[in-house]
Amino acid sequence: MSGRREDRSIYQPELATVRDRKMLNETELYLRLSMDSGVLEYKPGQFVEVSVAGIGEAPISISSSPTADDGFELVIRRVGNVTNAIHKLQTGDKVGIRGPYGKGLYPVDEVKGKDLIFICGGIGLVPQRSFIKYVLANRGEYGQVTIFFGTKTVAQRLFASELSEWDKLEGVEVKETVDKPEEGWGGEVGVITTLIDKIDKDIRDAMIFACGPPVMYKFVLLALEEKKVKAKNIYLNLERKMKCGVGKCGHCQMNNYYVCIDGPVFCYSKLKDIPEAI
């Protein structure tokens, strides 16, 4: 195969092998994969198109940190045809991967030395985890790290043991909340904004990274506004139907931006000029 760009297809998946799999809860599958040829190089905030032959492709955020040297990790919620098929994959199985895609606009270098607050709604923890782990691997370069994680139920929690390990680290604080608690739940109760409301220090200089379902952003932004956080300090990781991943198919477009090639992480000061964003 020659190096001519005309000979390559931007839609061709490369094969990866499932190295490890486990269910994190009833609907979320954790996969650790490695590319059969070469290494997947990526930045926090980027995603891949996972391809199941005969079913299709789904855009999935990379959940591991680029600092990890043992493949890459994905977490897939069982929600449609493709993700249901992905859930059937066993260790040793092959799966198609295209990417990584997106600019992965987490300002990895710009926020060095700053306090970081991660606001994660449900599966929104998954893409954030890539940057969280990156920050923890370069711990000395960042300030205080606060992680808020909210789910509907206790059963829907993800990476619970990892969260409690992080919480033990110096300069790291993890706070969880659930909407519908059950007996024995020791964390907060309520939607994710209850954690923001309870912040009792000045967070105007902190950098905020939020990822969650579309409905979460409106309320998170209102709560942050109450705390006088400026738009330029807030980054949101957006979900869209990213069918092609390469800025052609048009599905993920919001006004003049393509989430797949311009995001999916956007600074809120930019999103303010994109009415279709939130």
Partner 1 sequence: MGIKKISKDGFSGLIEGLIAETTVIGVQSKGDKFVYDLLGSSANLRLDYDVTILPPKKYFLQPAEILLRFDGEKYEAEFDDEEFVLVGVHPYDMIAINQIDKLYSEDNFDSHYMRRRENATVIACDVARASENVFASSMGTATVSEGFDILLTDIGDFYVAESATDKGEKLLGKAEGVSTAEDEDLKAREKIQEENKKNLNKHKLGCKPSELPGLLEKAYNHPIWEELGKKCFSCGSCNQVCPTCYCFNVQDEVNWDLKSGTRKRVWDGCLLDGFTKVAGGHEFRKSRADRIKHRIYRKGKYVPEKIGGEIACVGCGRCVGACLTDIANPVKIYNRLIEDIGIGK
Residues facing 62 on adjacent strands: 74
Question: Looking at 51, 63, 65, 130, which residue binds partner 1 (CB under 8 A)?
Answer: 51
Measured from the CB atom, the residue of 135 and 254 that comes closer to partner 1 is 254
Residues 5-24, one symbol each (x = binds partner 1 by CB under 8 A, - = not), give xxxxxxxxx-x---------
Please answer whether residues 242 and 47 qualify as being in contact, where contact means their C-beta atoms are separated by less than 8 angstroms.
yes
Measured from the CB atom, the residue of 204 and 248 that comes closer to partner 1 is 248
Q: Which stretch binds partner 1 (CB under 8 A): 54-62, 108-116, 156-164, 223-231?
A: 54-62
Size of the site for partner 1 (CB under 8 A): 46
As a whole number of angstroms, the distance between CA 238 and CA 231 comes to 16
Question: Looking at 39, 79, 155, 222, which residue binds partner 1 (CB under 8 A)?
Answer: 79
Q: Examine residue 90 and tell whether it contacts partner 1 (CB under 8 A).
A: no
Residue 194 tokens read as 């209850």
Question: Looking at 22, 88, 201, 241, which residue binds partner 1 (CB under 8 A)?
Answer: 241
Cβ within 8 Å of residue 80, ≥6 positions away: 58
Q: Examine residue 213 and tell whether it contacts partner 1 (CB under 8 A).
A: yes
What is the edge-to-edge ordering of all strands in the sheet holding 47-52? 56-61, 47-52, 94-101, 14-23, 28-35, 72-77
Measured from the CB atom, the residue of 166 and 217 that comes closer to partner 1 is 217
Question: Looking at 193, 239, 265, 266, which residue binds partner 1 (CB under 8 A)?
Answer: 239
Helices and strands, counts by H and E, the chain: 7, 15
* CA 160 to each of CA 5, 68, 150, 276: distance values in angstroms, whole numbers, following the listed order: 45, 20, 12, 34
User: Which residue has 């930045």 as its token pair?
Assistant: 43
Question: Looking at 20, 22, 41, 53, which residue binds partner 1 (CB under 8 A)?
Answer: 53
Question: Looking at 2, 37, 161, 255, which residue binds partner 1 (CB under 8 A)?
Answer: 255
As a whole number of angstroms, the distance between CA 242 and CA 88 comes to 22
Count of other CB atoms within 10 angstroms of residue 236: 25
Map residue 209 onto helix, strand or coil: strand
Question: Looking at 198, 232, 248, 272, which residue binds partner 1 (CB under 8 A)?
Answer: 248
Q: Examine residue 254 and tell whether it contacts partner 1 (CB under 8 A).
A: yes
Please answer whether residues 243 and 236 qualify as being in contact, where contact means their C-beta atoms are separated by less than 8 angstroms.
no
Measured from the CB atom, the residue of 70 and 276 that comes closer to partner 1 is 276
Q: Examine residue 73 and tell whether it contacts partner 1 (CB under 8 A).
A: no
Q: Which residues bind partner 1 (CB under 8 A)?
A: 5-13, 15, 51, 53-58, 77, 79-83, 94, 96, 213-214, 239-241, 243-244, 246-256, 261, 275-276
